[in-house]
Amino acid sequence: MRKMIPQRKINFHAGPATLPESVLLQYARAVTELDDTGISLLELPHRGSEFISIVDECNELIRELCDLDNSFEVMWIQGGGRLQFGMVPMNFLGLDDTAAFADTGHWAAEAMEYAAHYGKTDNIASSRSTNYNCLPALPAVDANYKYLHITTNNTIYGTQWHHVPDVNLPLIADMSSDILGCARNYRRFDLFYAATQKNLGTPGLALVVVRRSMLEKTVRSLPPMFSYAAHAAQNSILQTANVSAQYATLLMLRWIKEMGIEHIINTNKEKARILYHALDNSNLFIPHVTQTAHRSTMNVCFTAKHPETEQAFLKLCDDNNIIGIKGHRSVGGFRVSLYNAVPLMHVEKLVQLMNEFEKDI
Ligand code: PMP
């Protein structure tokens, strides 16, 4: 296939992540002039009808792609994933309340640390002792907790909850690195949020979906910027909006719809399957997550049996225009992110290179 953007690299970064070429080209056009508005996307007033239509279409697409009914409110809030670590407890965890957390890695632990500023937290299950190479077994969760927080996909360690825990209390999830990338029953959650820089566009923004009945359970009075109810009441336009990031998200959501969500999910599974197959059959590369049921289809982490070969493999990738596979320092080795916009043929190319490298050493 001829590339529309010459010299474009194969990009496996964990986020900001690769975007479809068609999205980049539409975005580039909009920077010059958005549709026939006569102005640039970067100049677009955040309270004008054009931007309101952008937000409305994003909301509708999320409702459709996540199969949500009217009991959910869809919002877009600046501040990425981390602000949500704070907003969730600000809104729903009183000083004397306790929230339960499943500690499945760095981001899950950080969400719990933020919550501890506002109320009490219980770490009810953790896989820390094995450097998070699996998901912990969840005990029966006491319904007296204010909510249970999970991280559906653990970006740094490459584990993923494929089955949503069955609990009898509000379930809240950070879906930053697998939103719309895998099969999920989104209606099982009372609130979920996702930073946009992986499967949904560019950084700086977060999708927040909350069950309307939760909004009535807000535990303290908050300035509007920290209040979900205030964001919902203002259709996500409480302040000068991040117009360009919202537009990038709209283009991504349109692209997902055009490709078909089923097709995207199946392609993601296939990308992960061929990469794990290569790892499981390798004498050099070692997967970080060995329990297949816990493996992420979004981030695949592995090391080399002979660490001195890692630099050489990174260089080989670089020479072949493949970037973004250096592992996070907590695991070392390599991490390959397989988000929605990563084409299957890029993974095939990487696997071919892994096989050639292994033969040559
Ligand atoms: N949660 C998860 C699962 C993440 O992977 C990340 C970032 N990689 C974050 C939260 C933090 O997002 P942000 O940098 O937008 O605050």
- The residue whose C-alpha atom lies closest to atom 9 belonging to ligand 1 is 81
pLDDT tens by residue, 141-178 = 999 999 999 999 999 999 999 999 999 999 999 999 99
Question: What residues contact residue 206 under an 8 Å CB cut-off, 6+ apart?
Answer: 76, 77, 78, 79, 80, 81, 83, 84, 176, 193, 194, 195, 196
Query: Which residue has the CA at smallest separation from atom 12 of ligand 1?
Result: 81
Distance of CA 316 to the CA centre of its chain: 28
The answer to whether the CB of 125 falls within 8 A of the CB of 103 is yes
Instruction: Choose one of 13, 82, 150, 172 to mutate for the ligand 1 pocket test, by most ligand atoms within 8 angstroms of C-beta.
Output: 82
pTM, full prediction: 0.98
* Strand order from edge to edge, sheet including 72-78: 72-78, 205-211, 191-195, 171-174, 148-151, 98-103, 120-126
First-to-last CA distance in the chain? 32
Please tell me the distance from the alpha carbon of residue 127 to that of residue 134, in angstroms, as a whole number. 6
* 3-state secondary structure (DSSP) of residue 214: helix
pLDDT, tens digit, 9 for 90 and up, residues 107-142: 999 999 999 999 999 999 999 999 999 999 999 999
Tokens 């981390």 sit on residue: 82
- CB 155 near ligand 1, within 6 Å: yes
Q: Do the strands 72-78 and 10-11 form a parallel or antiparallel pair, or are they unpaired?
A: unpaired
82 pocket-lining for ligand 1 (C-beta < 6 Å): yes
Q: Considering only CA atoms, which residue is closest to atom 3 of ligand 1?
A: 176
Amino acid letter, 62: I
Residue with tokens 């260089």: 315
Cα(226)–Cα(230) distance, integer angstroms:
8
Distances (CA, A) of 97 to 16, 24, 112, 148, 304: 35, 45, 14, 12, 45
Q: Which of 106, 156, 177 to mutate to test the pocket of ligand 1 (most atoms within 8 A of CB)?
A: 177
Q: Indicate the Cα dihedral angle 212, 87, 296, 65, nearest 10°.
A: 30
What is the model's pLDDT at position 2?
52
Which residues of the chain have a pLDDT value below 70? 1-3
Rounded CA-CA distance 42/25 in Å is 15
Which domains are seen in the chain, by residue range? 25-258 (3.40.640.10), 260-360 (3.90.1150.10)
Indicate whether residue 177 lines ligand 1 (CB < 6 A). yes
> What are the residue numbers of the active site?
107, 174, 198
Per-residue model confidence (pLDDT) at position 45: 97
Determine the distance separating the centroid of ligand 1 and the alpha carbon of 358, expressed in angstroms.
33
Please give the angle made by the CA atoms of 190, 191 and 195, to the nearest 5 degrees: 160
Q: Which atom of ligand 1 is nearest to the CA of 84?
A: 16
Q: What integer pLDDT is reported at residue 7 of this predicted model?
A: 87
In short, whether 107's Cβ falls inside 6 Å of ligand 1 is yes
Q: Which two tokens stand for residue 260?
A: 């078909």
Kindly give the number of the ligand 1 atom that is closest to the alpha carbon of 151.
3
Q: What per-residue confidence (pLDDT) applies to 3? A: 65
